[in-house]
């Protein structure tokens, strides 16, 4: 049985609305204030302090990449897309920004709270997965380092089992991980080959 996810507390969070002045946006700001968020509005550019916001609501209809001081899809906070037009190009652009939730314009009296909760959860999950992928990639790279070191040590004896045992013994004697020992072996082999080339 999976644990039920908890709804985050939103009171005191900061939200920025990146949208041209409009009556519907005033209604959105009122709803955010009622939920307990500290809200500011901006258009067409984000103010420097916006990068520290907890949420960013952005206009899909008139939005463009240069509005954001980060690469597309790499926002440092959850994004909520404000969608009026369902033109495919505009939807594709919102997807490229990796919007975590959406609200259809005109903004009504419902949907803002759920958009906040869904955006927070989606953003946190995306970050967790990105960290997990980065960790797995780092582990694969470390394994490749160990393989390269074993191959380098086995060059003389042609015995990979013996070379692996030698790498393990070096790690124990240096009191480092196998990965660190592998890096040291490769560095030493590289220095040795450069020395040989210089003296040739």
pLDDT for residue 5: 60
Beta bridge partners of 79: 56
pLDDT for residue 1: 47
Q: Which helix H or strand E contains 83, and what residues bound it?
A: strand 79-83
Burial class (CB in 10 A: 0-12, 13-18, 19+), 131: exposed
Q: Is the pLDDT of residue 4 over 70?
A: no
Which tens digits make up the pLDDT trace of 26-55?
999 999 999 999 999 999 999 988 999 999
- Residue with the bigger pLDDT between 160 and 53: it is 53
CATH number given to 14-109: 3.40.50.2300
Q: Per-domain residue ranges for the chain?
A: 14-109, 137-199
| Portion of the chain with pLDDT greater than 70, in percent | 94
CATH number given to 137-199: 1.10.10
**DSSP code string of 13-32:** -EEEEES-S-HHHHHHHHHH
pLDDT band at 116 (very low <50, low <70, confident <90, very high): very high
Q: Report the pLDDT averaged over residues 164-191.
A: 90
- Residue with the bigger pLDDT between 74 and 109: it is 74
């Amino acid at each position: 049985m999976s644990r039920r996810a908890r709804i985050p507390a939103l009171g005191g969070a900061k939200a920025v609305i990146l949208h041209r002045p409009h009556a519907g946006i005033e209604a959105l700001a009122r709803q955010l204030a009622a939920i307990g968020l500290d809200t500011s509005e901006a258009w067409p550019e984000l103010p420097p302090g916006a990068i520290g916001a907890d949420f960013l609501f952005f206009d899909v209809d008139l939005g463009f990449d240069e509005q954001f001081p980060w690469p597309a899809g790499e926002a440092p906070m959850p994004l909520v897309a404000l969608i009026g037009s369902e033109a495919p190009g505009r939807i594709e652009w919102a997807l490229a920004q990796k919007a975590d939730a959406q609200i259809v314009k005109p903004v009504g009296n419902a949907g803002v709270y759920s958009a906040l909760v869904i955006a927070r959860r989606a953003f946190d999950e995306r970050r967790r997965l990105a960290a997990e992928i980065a960790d797995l990639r780092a582990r694969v790279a470390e394994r490749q380092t160990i393989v390269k070191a074993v191959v380098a040590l086995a060059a003389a004896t042609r015995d990979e089992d013996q070379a692996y045992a030698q790498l393990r013994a070096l790690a124990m004697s240096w009191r480092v991980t196998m990965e660190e020992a592998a890096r040291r072996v490769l560095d030493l082999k590289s220095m040795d080959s450069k020395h040989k080339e210089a003296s040739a």
